[in-house]
Chains A and B, each alone.
Chain A
Amino acid sequence: MSIISEKISQTDQLASLFEQSREKLNQGSSPILNRMREVSFKRFAQAGIPDFKNEDYKYTNLKPAFEKSYRQELLRESGLINLNEVFKCNIPQLDTHLVFLVNGWFYSGNNPGAELPNGVVLGGLEQIANDKPELLQNYLNRQAGLSNDPFVALNTAFVKDGFFLFVPKGVVIEKPIQIINLLSSDENLMATQRNLVIAEAASQVKLLICDHTLTSASFLFNTVSEFFVGEDALVDVYTIQNHHNQSTSINSAFYKQERNSNLVTGTVSLHGGLIRNNLKVTFNGEHAEANVNGISFTDKKQHVDNFTVIEHSSPNCLSNQVYKNILDDESTGAFAGRIHVARDAQQTVAFQRNNNVLLSDKAKMQTKPQLIIDADDVKCSHGATVGQIDEEALFFLRARGIGENDARMMLMNAFAHEVILKISIEPLRERIDELIEKRLNGEISRCHDCNYQCNC
């Protein structure tokens, strides 16, 4: 009984918030955003906040996060200080096209346009949806709208802003585009961010997305991103998540790949209270390739859950997933990877691997591969391991004079390195190696390089 009443109350709370906020939600937003709200909220309300009975959320309980009360920034709030002064990027050697978002809003001080190749559009979703709806209308919610995930529906109901990127046919953007998502609020805040990336045929773009918390308030960050990867396009998306322990991040990314396209993703969950990453790749044409990778580091009571779905809807495509977790203290992790090979998607090659290292007796990892194969001429494999640091290797290193802590660090770095190697931006690779070392040394227990230096 109590569970049911809880579900009603949390969903009801959001329902009344949605009712009260309708005017603000619609205010200043394009009709193409507004027209999705009602139906999406209904879908959310029907499903409610999932609990362990929902197979997809078996290992991640989001109810406690939704029990807190949050404010929302339903209208753009001004008065922000210069972000370039507040926030120093942790990857300074990287030469990127840099934009900021704050609490889900595209920062007004961004000016990325000048250096970008002709025809490229990088801006806020709110503004582009108002000014150039024709750019979005064939893409927006075309993937996310098919999802059964309640948080995706919730995002669509409350969407206000996010980043939008359009790369026209044949355009190659040499420098990575770096998107820094900041969460900053004195009170607890629920932030909704909606991103849309369209890479047209034969275009090339690399995205680096960094998530940070700047203040010690509790955050509930619900992001949905849709990526459309055109024929022959090359798209890399690297995400570095670095939130404090009072934050919950639900991050859903959808990728649709056309013929001959190539996608690389890397999700580095460096720090965060609770992180849930949903990632879905759909092959919509032959000879496309997706390399989907992730590494997470957890300690204390942190929780990271990576939930992936690869839809092999077309023949002759290749997917390769490598996910790794290093878990310390009482932290928990989950990986669920579904590979679905559709009927007639012959000559599919699909690999999946999940390797985990537990550094303490209390850390826990749940791993669940799921292969659904409806074609008969395919090559699929999956494997999962959960283990401890290799004691033989540790002794070997110590017997060569390397101290125990350094030796452990070396082995953990080596474990993580396989995933880092998949990153195609070399300075980023080096920097992430450094960040990982800092993380493993316990130096990222607070939001590093942040002027607020909140203790969290």
Chain B
Amino acid sequence: MLSIKNLRASVEGKEILKGINLEIKAGEVHAIMGPNGSGKSTLANILAGKSDYEVLEGEVTFLGQNLLELSPEIRSRSGLFLSFQYPVEIPGVPMVNFLKASVNEHRKFKGLDPLTAGEFLKLMRAKKDMLHLDTELTNRSVNEGFSGGEKKKNEIFQMAMLEPKLAILDETDSGLDIDALRVVAEGVNALKTTENATIVVTHYQRLLDYIVPDFVHVLYKGRIVKSGGKELAFELEEKGYDWIKNGEN
């Protein structure tokens, strides 16, 4: 589904990613872990198409397409979803209008008719029930005045509405209390099928108690320095990142 080959990228002249290689297949959950500043969020943002980064080398193929050539909106419509580390507040844009525009752009891309207002509300209700969300969120402007937990739940709700093929969860656990974490994780698990894949970007092992990865990769100084199964996460939790850092020497 996603193939990253020797990806090097910089921001403001500073090289952050120094040759990333990663293969992700449908049905898989990959966790990318690493200490602060290792390049985790950079990788997530580059995959989603943020323009602040310069790709120096390498290629990324997503469902057979050259991902790096696509605009962020086409990446999204093609089935890539980034759950933001810091979801932005957009006062004045009602959640409902935003989501309806988003869902209908995705449908248009697939050659489907736009949903009517009624159909859309029905879909929204079904997804809310599925994620056990309170109805409050959709009556407001996008993320406006939301707590950290609400913002992250809202991201998962958008994910449920858009049903992406590849979801990248960037530090979805940061700023969440244990209850919110559980809601978010249950949502992600509920949306999991054999057809889609998930990349969980996280600093801590905590989230991986709830979203169990098939593979764990450790990113350090812009490179994946270690890959393994879910037991790697426990090892990291136990030994800390110093273990990786020391292993470098």
Contact = CB atoms under 8 A, between A and B. Distances in A.
A353 to B, nearest CB: 13
A429 interface: no
Given A396-B87, A418-B91, 10 more contacts: A395-B49, A396-B142, A397-B93, A397-B98, A398-B49, A398-B73, A401-B105, A401-B109, A403-B105, A414-B93
Interface in B111-145: 141-142
The 5 closest A-B pairs by CB, nearest first: A414-B92, A401-B76, A398-B72, A401-B105, A400-B102
B158 A400 contact: yes
B60 interface: no
A77 interface: no
Question: Which of A390, A398, A415 neighbours the largest number of chain B CB atoms within 10 Å of its CB?
Answer: A398
Interface residues of B, number: 29
B76 A392 contact: no
Given A399-B48, A400-B102, A410 B93 contact: yes
Contacts, number: 74
Interface of B: 48-51, 71-73, 75-77, 82, 84, 87-88, 90-93, 97-98, 101-102, 105-106, 109, 141-142, 158, 162
A395 B76 contact: no
Contacts of A403: 73, 105
A411 B48 contact: no
A91 interface: no
Contacts of A411: 90, 93
A413 B91 CA distance: 10
Contacts of B73: 398-399, 401-404, 407
Contacts of B48: 399
Contacts of A402: 73, 98, 101-102, 105
A395 B44 CA distance: 13
A406 B84 CA distance: 21
A313 to B, nearest CB: 34
Contacts of B102: 397, 400-402
Nearest to B82: A399
Nearest to A403: B73
Nearest to B50: A395
A77 B23 CA distance: 80
Contact of A401 (B51, B92, B141, B162): B162
A393 interface: yes
B121 to A, nearest CB: 18
B157 to A, nearest CB: 12
A410 B77 contact: no
Nearest to B72: A398
A101 B50 CA distance: 53
Contacts of B106: 401
A407 B73 CA distance: 10
A417 interface: yes
Contacts of A395: 49-51, 72
Given A395-B72, A410-B101, A400 B162 contact: yes
Contacts of B109: 401
Contacts of B87: 396
A404 B71 contact: yes
A393 B88 contact: yes
Contacts of B158: 400
Contacts of A398: 49, 71-73, 76
Contacts of B51: 395
Interface in A388-434: 390, 392-393, 395-404, 406-407, 410-411, 413-415, 417-418
